[in-house]
């Protein structure tokens, strides 16, 4: 059964662009009060004005989700402005190729700090209030890339795989508390992060379309939502293919990054 988001307090990280922007805009249009978190103030304020012009309610806090103290302060501020949080969507993430010689270690560390620890910090900041109220919904945005290592994407794929396993464990740990956990694994989405990709991205989706699908899955209380389904099947099947065949299939995927 699909539930309504009207009247709920929803926090979205990475709301300054891409999926996060669209999730916040669409959720606000359903009557929820939305807390917007990202590192860039100007696009957050622009989104806040857009939501207000449409009759919605949004509050803005600038924070880096990779810094625990900033995340916790952001949640305290949004609780004061909007009230206790009902739904948290840990969406903020980055994607940078992993190079080989030398390994771009700073980028690798940033990827795990934002993509994994940012999710953990975000969801953990929401937990005390939710546990006290015995209700809430935690959502983490992972990726289909978390199901399969890809050339030149070692850190990105590993960080997204870690998010999947972390949320699996958290879901079981929270059994009986009244708190739901949803893992979302989208395929390729047109965002500022993917616009620079030179390789073919099968079943590429717009952020608006992907956000509609994600919101529907959240409202239905899905535990895990992988989409689009055809690409999901291909990715999962690829885990069982011999390395020699995968090397041939993925020969030109992210070729520039894979060579460095």
Distances (CA, A) of 215 to 7, 41, 231, 238: 15, 25, 20, 28
How much of the chain exceeds pLDDT 70, in percent?
90
Confidence at residue 17, expressed as pLDDT on a 0 to 100 scale:
94
**pLDDT higher than threshold 70 for residue 260:** no
C-alpha to C-alpha distance for 94 and 97, rounded to whole angstroms: 10
3-state SS string for 39-92: CCHHHHHHHHHHHHHCCCEEEEEECCCCCHHHHHHHHHHHHHHHCCCCEEEECC
| Mean pLDDT across 141-160 | 94
Domain edges within the chain: 9-53+75-105+117-258
Give the tens place of pLDDT for each residue, 32-65. Answer: 999 999 999 999 999 999 999 999 999 999 999 9
Max mean pLDDT range (100-104, 162-166, 198-202, 247-251):
162-166
Cis ω on the peptide bond leading into residue 102 (within 30° of 0)? yes
Where is average pLDDT lowest: 52-56, 72-76, 203-207? 203-207
How much of the chain exceeds pLDDT 90, in percent?
78
Report the half-sphere exposure of 200 (CA within 13 A, side-chain side).
6
C-alpha to C-alpha distance for 1 and 30, rounded to whole angstroms: 17
* pLDDT band for position 150 (cuts 50, 70, 90): confident
C-alpha to C-alpha distance for 69 and 73, rounded to whole angstroms: 6
**pLDDT higher than threshold 70 for residue 196:** no
C-alpha to C-alpha distance for 160 and 169, rounded to whole angstroms: 15
First to last CA, the chain: 49
Q: Would you call 156 a catalytic residue per the annotation?
A: yes
Give the tens place of pLDDT for each residue, 218-237. Answer: 999 999 999 999 899 888 88
* pLDDT band for position 250 (cuts 50, 70, 90): low
**pLDDT higher than threshold 70 for residue 26:** yes
Catalytic choice (121, 156, 166, 225): 156
Confidence at residue 138, expressed as pLDDT on a 0 to 100 scale:
98
Which CATH fold would you assign to the domain 9-53+75-105+117-258? Rossmann fold (3.40.50)
Confidence at residue 94, expressed as pLDDT on a 0 to 100 scale:
95
């Amino acid at each position: 059964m699909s539930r309504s988001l009207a009247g709920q307090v929803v926090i979205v990280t990475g709301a300054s662009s891409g999926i996060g922007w669209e999730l916040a805009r669409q959720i606000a249009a359903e009557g929820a009060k939305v807390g917007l978190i990202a590192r860039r103030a100007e696009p957050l304020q622009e989104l806040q004005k857009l939501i207000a012009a449409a009759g919605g309610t949004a509050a803005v806090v600038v924070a880096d989700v990779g810094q625990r103290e900033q995340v916790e302060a952001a949640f305290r501020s949004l609780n004061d402005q909007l009230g206790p949080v009902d739904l948290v969507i840990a969406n903020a993430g980055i994607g940078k190729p992993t190079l080989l010689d030398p390994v771009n270690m700073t980028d690798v560390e940033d990827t795990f700090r934002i993509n994994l620890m940012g999710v953990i910090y975000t969801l953990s900041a929401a937990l005390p209030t939710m546990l006290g109220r015995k209700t809430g919904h935690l959502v983490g945005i992972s990726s289909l890339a978390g199901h399969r290592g890809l050339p030149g994407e070692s850190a990105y794929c590993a960080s997204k795989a870690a998010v999947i396993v972390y949320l699996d464990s958290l879901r079981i740990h929270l059994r009986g508390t009244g708190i739901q956990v949803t893992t979302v694994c989208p395929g390729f989405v047109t965002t500022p992060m993917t616009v620079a990709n030179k390789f073919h991205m099968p079943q590429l989706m717009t952020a608006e379309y992907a956000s509609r699908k994600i919101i529907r899955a959240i409202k239905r209380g899905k535990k895990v939502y992988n989409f689009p389904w055809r690409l999901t099947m291909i990715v999962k099947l690829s885990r069982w293919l011999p390395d020699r065949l995968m090397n041939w299939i993925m020969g030109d995927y992210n070729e520039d990054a894979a060579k460095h």
